[in-house]
Structure formats: structure tokens, C-alpha cells
Amino acid sequence: MRVAILAHQKFPDRAKTAVGVLRYGDHDVVAVLDRDHSGERVHDFIPDVQDAPIVETMADAPECDALIIGVAPIGGGFEESWRTDVETAIESGCDVVAGLHYFLSEDDEFVARAEEHGVALRDVRNPPDDLTVAEATASEVDARIVLTVGTDCSTGKMTASYELRDAARERGLDAAVVPTGQTGIMIAGWGIAIDRVISDFAAGATERLVQQAGDHDVVFVEGQGAVVHPAYSGVTTAILHGAQPDSMVLCHVAGKEHFGGYERFALPDLSTYVQLYEDMAAPIADATVDAGMVNTRGMDESGADDAIEAVAEEIDAPATDPVRYSADDVLDAVLD
Amino acid sequence: MRVAILAHQKFPDRAKTAVGVLRYGDHDVVAVLDRDHSGERVHDFIPDVQDAPIVETMADAPECDALIIGVAPIGGGFEESWRTDVETAIESGCDVVAGLHYFLSEDDEFVARAEEHGVALRDVRNPPDDLTVAEATASEVDARIVLTVGTDCSTGKMTASYELRDAARERGLDAAVVPTGQTGIMIAGWGIAIDRVISDFAAGATERLVQQAGDHDVVFVEGQGAVVHPAYSGVTTAILHGAQPDSMVLCHVAGKEHFGGYERFALPDLSTYVQLYEDMAAPIADATVDAGMVNTRGMDESGADDAIEAVAEEIDAPATDPVRYSADDVLDAVLD
């Protein structure tokens, strides 16, 4: 699928979704829209992802199949300065994909134009309306199911999932990510934002996703939150039991000692987390924590290496930072 | 509050909500509507709850403040044969309270009439639309927070909560139940059906409920599901961390060995459950499982006593069947 990505005035540092799609997406990115950098190229900023021209408006982008909104303003609103680009996309026959709290499909103007031009408006935060309770049958798929779990939110579970997928593909395996959050969904082009699903159906929604990807050799299910997170543990647990993993990878930000936004609460030790995830999984899925992923961003090499080694020791399993180093050892551990 | 309860053709055996309101509600029940038993009285069927006349239609009921729909057909639909009673209630100035999947507040006819007569249509399954993520502050309330947890769905968590409340009130304590499910909400007249809340806000919704009841001496939070239930564990975990209990009571159906509806999955041992609930609570709330509640319905006295004693031994704490016996020992344990 050929896509353009809207990232006005935020590329690359404040355009997490745009960069994620460029790095991990299976799309052919024909252009990035950023009016502050038109005339430059993606490789001028990020050399190790697919390259594309940066253009000023959708009218300047090569022909493509979809426009992805690749930035999320605080609050998740729609910036009116994007309206012309979205309208141009619709009129060119492009679908529009967004992960905003503001739903394009509830904007009367966009809806009317989209109907007229026969294109889809896909709000990835909006869950399907035919979800049901879990049947606890995810583990019946052919694929090996690997779940990334974390010690907190924002520990690198999505990144770990995609890095593991890429490492598996390099070995010739048919691998996929099962996206459970908005950025992961934008990258993969499918998935369900489990945190927006009503509680009764959250495990069922996860199960459906695993089943949709069940024909691959291995799927990496993007986990969310943490099993004892003060606010989001319900999402984590629903994904754990809905996905029925064969293996788990524990993701941690090196040096982090308290829950982000909830600093009164200390993170449990990593060994405690391993026990918690395994004990919680056991009655429903025979999964162990087989590896660790450590986010060492901002550390020097020796500090990062020490941090990774400390995690490996605490969880008694291989660990790495998959952005800094190869994910191969971790992949070996979870495929075993 | 004076209420009438609609229970047409189902009182008492298939009218769980009606019986719950009669047994545990603080309402003054002025009539039960059951066209199959009009002329009889509640005490003809259930001697140990508040008495009330059984009438044929709402027009036959004494003046009151609200009509409660006290039955739930399979599927949660609205029976058209109830329409006249609901309309009569509205025209008499009564609020109407329902726990159906079918929302009265989306029925144009009811809405128009309710507006005309200035009464409220309260669909208790419909969560408030201003919910937010948890702040993890429930434990700051003055009340002691006791959470009923279970080994499965339908283990008696709601009944245990209300029996404990009543035992506490008998001691002169100012006690309340925090209702998290539809029947509990109908009984108490407030609460949120946590299973209908979107996952991100489920802990926050629980927290709000605890704070709303925070001025009591002790609150008994009605738990849901089970912490490792194949489909509903997310609801359970969100309530556990949102409520931040001081104490937990483990509810179990004597002899039950597999999850209801998920018979491929064995229930963990009770001692494993105690460990799971305590380990999951520990990082967020310093709560232990201090007692057990055993549903021994249908067993003879000696079988029931054996079952209760076995549970007490397995969890190493006092246990009882609060329907069959006094909840006093369990109350002592959770107030300690």
C-alpha cells in the first residue's frame, strides 16, 4: 500500500507515528507532509529507514492509496490547518487513517466527501462495534504467540514487538505484530486499541486479533501497561488472558524505579514482575518470561551494557536493547 | 425512597434483582408487580425480607418515587408487555430504573413522556460519560475498604458484600456497599457497571465510587469476575487496583473446580488464589485475604459445614456461608 504521512511541523522528533510507519510499516511511503521541511527528504533526518520526499501539501504528494495522520497533538484533537490536505486526499481517492480522539468519521464534511469519492475514513481508536466476550481459544492458532509485557507504560513494548518481527523475518520466518494500541495500529494498518474497548470485551478483542494473525509462523502481540499498573492493569490483564501467549518478553526502561505519573508507587523488582506475569498467566496459558528488552536511550555504551546485564541477571534470561543491538538472542529465547 | 418493583411472571425465583432489592435495598418497597401473583404478598413466598403487596399493574400500586425493573430477560431486552406499566409510572411522576441492555433513555416514547413529567430514566448499565483514568487515590478516604474477590464469576461476591454490610450495621457501624454490577446498583440505587466501562477508565470508575462512599466507617466493594478468569480478569484487576482495598474476602462456590462456561480451565487452588490476589494488590494496596465466603447452596448442613471448614483451612482464615450462617466472624477478620 502506497501512503503519504501527514506530520506538519513535527517531523521527525514529535511525529512518533510517522517515524514508526517509516521504520516498521509494510507501506510504501511516497511522501511525508511537513510544511516546515518541504524540499528535504526523510534520509536528511533519519538515515536508517525508508526514504521519501518531504512535501508541503497533499497536492504535492505522488499518487497513493492512503493518507495517514502521523502526528497526535496533545489532547488528540484535529488541527484545522490539516483540513485542506485531508480533503485533497479524499478527492484523490485516498483513504484517510487517523488515531485521534477526534473521529474523522464523525466530521460531517469529511463524511460527505468520503462518500462522494468512495474512500474510507478509518479512525483506529474507534473499536469495532461487534466485539464479544473471549472464548479463551487464542492458543488454538498455528502461530507461536509471543507477548511483550512491561514494568510500566511506555517501556518499549511496541518497539520490541516490531524489532522481534523484523529479526524473525530476517530468518525467513513469516512473522507479524498483533497491534493493540493506536501507534501500532497505524504502523500495521490493522488492530484494535484495546484500551478503548469496554472491559467485558477487552480479552475477546485481543483474542480476535490473535486469531486474525493466526496463520503466521509467529506473532508478537503488543502488550499494554503493566500487570500492577495503578490505572491500566485491567488492560494488561485482559490482553494477557485474551492472547494466551506461549512466551513473554519483559520490557523495562533502564533505571526507572516508579510508575510514570504515579511516582508514589515503586515499580516491583524485575524478578517480582517475572513471577507476577507467570503466575497470572499460568491458569490460562503456559507461558514463561523468556527474555528482557531494555530501553537504554540516552545512556552511554558502557552504562547501557551494564543496565542490560543487570536486567538479564534479575530475570535470569537473555536481554538486550533492540534499538541499540540485535534482537537475535531474545528471539532465540522466545522461539525455544 | 418508596419504590415499586416490576417482576411480571418471574417472582420470586427468576427475579434476582427484585429479591435483592427486597432483601438488601434501603428502599421502602410499596408493591411488587407480578400479574401471575396479584393479590398475594411477598411474605407468602419469602418470609425473611420486607413485606409488600403483589399487584397486577402499576396503576394498582400505592404512590411511590420510582419503578425498578426487577427482572432481566435473557438477552437483556425490553418486554413490550411492560410498556403500559412504565408509562403509568412516568405519568405518576416516578423515575424508572432499569438494568437492561435495552436503554430506556434511548426509547423515544419513554424519553418524551419522561421530559413531559419531569422524571428520570436511569439505565444503570450505562456508565457516566465523564469517566477518567484512575489517580490511585481511593485509599485516601476515611472508610476502611473491604473488597470481595472471587474464584470465578457468580460466586456470591455481591451477596457477601451486602451480608457484611448488614452485619456491620448491626454493630452500629456506618457501612455501605460500593456496587460495581447491575444487580448491586439496582439494590443500592447508585454505582457503575464496571464491565461496561472502557478499559482505560475501569480503575478510575471504581476509584470514583469508593470516593463517593468514602465518608462511611467501612465500605464493602463488590468485586467482579476472578483475577485469572479467561474472559473477565481485566475487570477484576481494574477493580482491585482502583479500589485499593485494606482487606479482601475470597468468595467461592463449594465444590466448584472449573470456570463456569470455560470448563477446559481448572480453578486454581484457593491457596494459590490467596497468593495471586495478595501479590497483585501489594504494589498498589497493602491488602491481605482475611476471610472466605462459601456458597453452600443445595448442600445439607454437615456437607456445608465440611465445605466451609475446608475453605477456612485452605486460606488459613475464618470462613462462613453468609446466607446460611452469621457473617460475624468474617466481619471481625476484615475489620481487624
List strands edge to edge, sheet with B2-6: B54-55, B28-33, B2-6, B66-69, B95-98, B121-123
Is it true that the peptide bond before A12 is cis, omega within 30 degrees of 0?
A: yes
Do residues A67 and A6 touch, judged by C-beta distance below 8 A?
Answer: yes
Closest-CA residue to B223 (of B319, B147, B138):
B147
Q: Backbone phi, then psi, for B267, in 5-degree steps?
A: -65, 135
Query: Can you tell me which residue has the cell 537475535?
Result: A328
- CATH class of the A138-335 domain in this structure: alpha beta
Which residue is closest to B281 within chain A, CA to CA? A228
Residue B233 and residue A194: Cβ atoms within 8 Å?
no
| Pairwise CB contact (< 8 Å): A280 & B280 | yes
Rounded CA Rg of chain B = 20
- The one-letter amino acid code at B82 reads W
B267 contact residues in A (CB cutoff 8 A): 283
Local structure of A217: helix, strand or coil:
coil
Q: Which residue has the cell 452469621?
A: B326
C-alpha cell belonging to residue A41? 527528504
Q: Do A236 and B238 touch (CB under 8 A)?
A: no
CB contact under 8 A, B234 and A229: no
| Angle, CA B313 vertex, CA B278 and CA B330 arms, to 5° | 70
Is A197 touching B (CB cutoff 8 A)? Answer: yes
Q: What is the ipTM of this complex?
A: 0.93
Closest CA to A1 of A19, A31, A27, A32: A27
Task: List the one residue out of B259, B237, B331 whose CA is nearest residue B293.
Answer: B331
Residue A280 in contact with partner chain B when CB distance is under 8 A: yes
pLDDT at residue B76, as a whole number: 80
Q: Please state, in angstroms and rounded to a whole number, the distance separating the CA atoms of residues B222 and B224.
A: 7
Vertex A113: Cα angle to A109 and A119 (nearest 5): 130
Contact between A312 and A296 under an 8 Å Cβ cutoff? The reply is: no
Chain centroid, CA B182 distance in Å: 7
Query: CA B88, CA A192: separation in Å to the nearest integer?
Result: 44
- Number of cross-chain residue pairs from A and B with Cβ atoms under 8 Å apart: 140
Contact B101, B75 (CB under 8 A): yes
| Beta pairing partners, B249 | B148, B291
Share of chain B above pLDDT 70, in %: 100
Place of cell 491488602: B287
Q: Which of A4, A40, A8 is nearest to A25 (CA)?
A: A4
Strand stretches in chain A, DSSP E: 2-6, 28-33, 54-55, 66-69, 95-98, 121-123, 144-150, 175-178, 218-221, 247-253, 258-259, 262-266, 288-295, 319-320
Q: For position A72, what pLDDT does the model report? A: 80
Q: Do A203 and B232 touch (CB under 8 A)?
A: yes
Give A267's contacts in chain B (Cβ within 8 Å). Answer: 283
User: How far, in Å, are A86, A97, A233, B174 from residue A107 at the CA level?
Assistant: 12, 14, 33, 50
| CATH 3.40.50.720-classified regions of chain A | 2-123
Judge whether B148 and B161 are in contact, CB under 8 Å. Answer: yes
pTM as predicted: 0.94
- Which residue, among A135, A198, A199, A208, would best test binding to B if mutated, counting the most B CBs under 10 Å from its CB? A199
The stretches in chain A having pLDDT less than 50 are: none
Q: What angle do CA A296, A302, A305 make, to 5 degrees?
A: 55
Cβ of residue A265 closer than 8 Å to a chain B Cβ: yes
Going by C-alpha positions, the residue among B80, B43, B88 that lies closest to residue B61 is B88
Given B135, B196, B237, which is nearest A200 (Cβ)?
B196
* 8 A C-beta contact, residue A186 and residue A124: yes
Distance CA B194, CA B207 (A): 11
pLDDT of residue B214: 97
Question: Each residue of B257-286: pLDDT tens digit?
Answer: 999 999 999 999 999 999 999 999 999 999
Rounded distance between C-alpha atoms, residue B253 and residue B248, angstroms: 17
**B199 with A196: Cβ contact below 8 A:** yes
> How long is chain B?
336
Is the backbone of residue A94 left (phi > 0), alpha (psi -120 to 50) or beta? beta
Residue B111's Cβ-count burial label (10 Å; 0-12, 13-18, 19+) is middle
| Numbered ranges of CATH 3.40.50.300 in chain A | 138-335
Query: Residue A75: what pLDDT?
Result: 76
**pLDDT (average), residues B224-238:** 98
Rounded distance, CA A32 to CA A9, Å?
11
Rounded to 5 degrees, φ, ψ at B197 are -85, 145
Q: B164 and chain A: CB distance < 8 Å anywhere?
A: no
Q: B95: part of which helix (H) or strand (E)?
A: strand B95-98
A240 touches chain B (CB under 8 A): yes
CATH 3.40.50.2300 fits B2-123, yes or no: no
- Give long-range contacts, CB 8 A cutoff, 24+ apart: B328-333: B328/B167, B329/B291, B330/B164, B330/B167, B330/B249, B330/B291, B330/B292, B330/B293, B331/B164, B331/B167, B331/B168, B331/B171, B333/B247, B333/B290, B333/B291
| pLDDT at B101 > cutoff 90 | no
- What integer pLDDT is reported at residue A77 of this predicted model? 87
- Chain A environment of B268 (Cβ under 8 Å): 282-283
Region of B154 on the Ramachandran plot (φ > 0 left; ψ -120 to 50 alpha; else beta): left
- Chain A residues with beta carbon closer than 8 angstroms to that of B230: 134, 136, 203, 241, 284
Q: Do A240 and A147 meet the contact criterion of CB atoms below 8 Å apart? A: yes
Q: Is B279 on the interface with A (CB under 8 A)?
A: yes
**pLDDT, chain B, mean:** 96
Q: Is A237 in contact with B241 (Cβ distance < 8 A)?
A: no
Over range B125-129, report the average pLDDT. Answer: 92
C-alpha–C-alpha distance, residues A177 and A218, integer Å? 9
In tens, the pLDDT along B48-94 reads 999 999 999 999 999 999 999 999 877 788 999 999 999 999 999 99
Residues on chain B touching A265 (C-beta within 8 angstroms)? 136, 283-284
Name every residue whose Cβ is closer than 8 Å to that of residue A161 and which is 6 or more positions away in sequence: A148, A177, A178, A184, A220, A221, A222
